[in-house]
A and B are shown apart, each in its own frame.
Chain A
């Protein structure tokens, strides 16, 4: 009876000892893992073979050369011979909008270019000058509006008062 009690006590003690060791090991592993997570939260060390950079598709609006319905999307210019030269020489300082809204003949474009060269630091256009002027007078010719144009583009709406 006494021996039996002693054996039970021994067994219980061993059991407790084993459990304590096991618990310590689990806590130690957990602690190491936690420590690692703090240092490297994305577990990147285990993903060494994955590419570091994502491949992103360039959105259409970033494609400078895109043409849609005969219009160069980035500048609004009409696609026609001389457009590239016009973009390269005429949109560095000012917007293409300023070019398109001015409708001039060859002579007035020449004097405008001369004025830009004399006062605005425009460079010598060389052979491109004729190409650009031809593009502008062909695609953006002056419109006759007379002494007073009719009202156009009226957006009709019901007036509520």
Chain B
């Protein structure tokens, strides 16, 4: 017996031991796939996440990072937040996985196997910022409904795939195309097969950007199951929910896509500003497109104590949706004065940018270091919460860390 097959068989048999039953069809189970029955065990082991990640919800799985876990320039899987609207697909048949392009605005629907997608179109790799639309929701008052994300529902990984544009050109889309909408293999929480947990999308202009990918690799490896294996659409700079996981179908629509979580209050904010807690009619809500300018201090971890003789070196990342970050500043006096940070250009469009600064403190005591990014349109982060909205989206208020000088 070859060593590899022995190892594979013994790990499958230990899974069988855990389950207490044999796994029927285990010979067709993909490598690295975890049977759903095991998906309610330790999430950190299950998803290879850092022990410092915060579990907000275990059904469906929603797990966020903390600021200091996001210090890497390219976010590794262990620090990547998990946001699921439904249940992780129970069967991934990668050999027979297909992507169909259909909808009112295609000349004729066309279906590709994964192998065809990979061989027929040129591969591209971009580092792309994905942030949950509800990142920062926990700070809204009155509280907004949903998972109470703090700061850790953002990351910037490398994605490799083919351009959605190249595939759409191969299919042929009509001039009346307005929007793309995705359909995926995840399962509705009620397990009703007639319901999709989420089916979102973006205007055609976003679909045709160089950086909008049909991705099959994250950080150079197969996409982890919970992040969309084996195929995911990636639309950097927009709410991460536009980047549909476990992708099976893309519909090219002649109307604004009306799939699950495109309507009502989902991923939509009042078109006109409203008072906190105000009721907003569905027709007065507008779909979120580009995410706002934002930044995160990823080093040091909040709570650092250091002596007055030392300088504090801070590091972090800043991003601005479709735009670039133009200016990065910090304040140690609650915004009374601001000092500039050094700021790097993004490695490619829609990638986050890195900043750093060395800070001297005038005397001993308690400080907060606040960070503020300003985008190329001159729009900066607010220090207070931005406009209240019913579902608590788009909180891009300045991030801050606590520091004591002794």
User: Is B145 within 8 A of A108, CB to CB?
Assistant: yes
8 Å CB interface, B73-104 against A: none
Q: How far is the CA of A18 from the CA of B148 in the complex (A)?
A: 90
Does residue A2 face the partner (Cβ distance < 8 Å to B)? no
Chain A proximity mask over B278-316: 1 for CB below 8 Å, otherwise 0: 000000000000000000000011111110001011000
Task: Name the interface residues of A111-158: CB closer than 8 Å to any CB of B.
Answer: 112, 115, 119-121, 142-149, 151, 154-158
- Establish whether residues A101 and B148, one from each chain, have CB atoms under 8 Å apart when the complex forms: yes
Contacting A148 at CB < 8 Å: which of B148, B190, B195, B397?
B397
B59 and A154: CB pair below 8 A?
Answer: no
Q: Please tell me if the beta carbons of B55 and A97 are within 8 angstroms of each other in the complex.
A: yes
Question: With A and B bound together, what is the CA distance between A154 and B189 in angstroms?
Answer: 36
Contacting pair A102 B189 (CB below 8 A): no
A residues less than 8 Å from B124 (CB atoms): none
Query: Which chain B residues (103-147) contact chain A, with CB distance < 8 Å?
Result: 139, 141-143, 145-147
| Inter-chain contact A157/B145, CB cutoff 8 Å | no
Mark interface residues in B245-281 (1 if CB within 8 Å of A CB, else 0): 0000000000000001000100000000000000000
Contact partner of A147 (CB less than 8 A), chosen from B59, B141, B145, B312, is: B141
Q: Which of B141, B190, B303, B397 contacts A146 (CB 8 A)?
A: B141
Give B190's nearest chain A residue, CB to CB.
Answer: A121
B141 touches A102 (CB 8 A): no
Q: Is A95 an interface residue (CB 8 A)?
A: yes
- Inter-subunit contact A95/B195 (CB<8 Å): no
- Nearest chain A CB to B360 CB, angstrom units: 14
**In chain A, residues 34-85, which have Cβ atoms closer than 8 Å to a Cβ of chain B?**
none
The answer for the CA separation of A159 and B308 in the assembled complex, in Å, is 12
- Nearest chain B CB to A148 CB, angstrom units: 5
Is A104 an interface position by the 8 A CB rule? yes
Kindly state the separation between the CA atoms of A143 and B143 in the bound complex, as whole angstroms: 8
Number of A positions contacting B (CB below 8 A) = 32
Q: Taking the nearest CB of chain A, how far is it from the CB of B122, in angstroms?
A: 40
Cα of A40 to Cα of B55 in the assembled complex, Å:
50
Contacts of B57 in A (CB 8 A): 94-95, 97-98, 101
Is the pair A155, B383 in contact by a Cβ cutoff of 8 Å? no
B171 at the interface (CB under 8 A from A): no
Closest to B368 in A: A151
**Cβ of B192 under 8 Å from chain A:** yes
Cross-interface CB contact of A121 among B55, B192, B302, B305, cutoff 8 Å: B192
CB-CB under 8 A from A112, the residues of chain B are 145
Residue of A95, A102, A154 touching B402 (CB-CB under 8 A): A154
Question: How many angstroms between the C-alpha atoms of A105 and B141 in the bound complex?
Answer: 12
Tell me the complex Cα distance, A143–B57, Å: 20
Please, which residue of chain B has its CB at the minimum distance from the CB of A109? B145
Taking CB atoms, residues of chain A closer than 8 Å to B312 are 159
A94-B57, A101-B56 known; 20 new pairs, CB 8 Å cut-off, are A94-B59, A94-B60, A95-B58, A97-B57, A98-B57, A101-B57, A102-B145, A102-B146, A105-B142, A121-B190, A148-B139, A151-B402, A155-B302, A156-B303, A158-B305, A159-B305, A159-B312, A161-B306, A161-B310, A161-B313
The 3 nearest A-B residue pairs measured at CB: A121-B190, A159-B304, A95-B59
Hey, which bits of chain A sit against chain B, CB under 8 A?
93-95, 97-98, 101-105, 108, 112, 115, 119-121, 142-149, 151, 154-159, 161
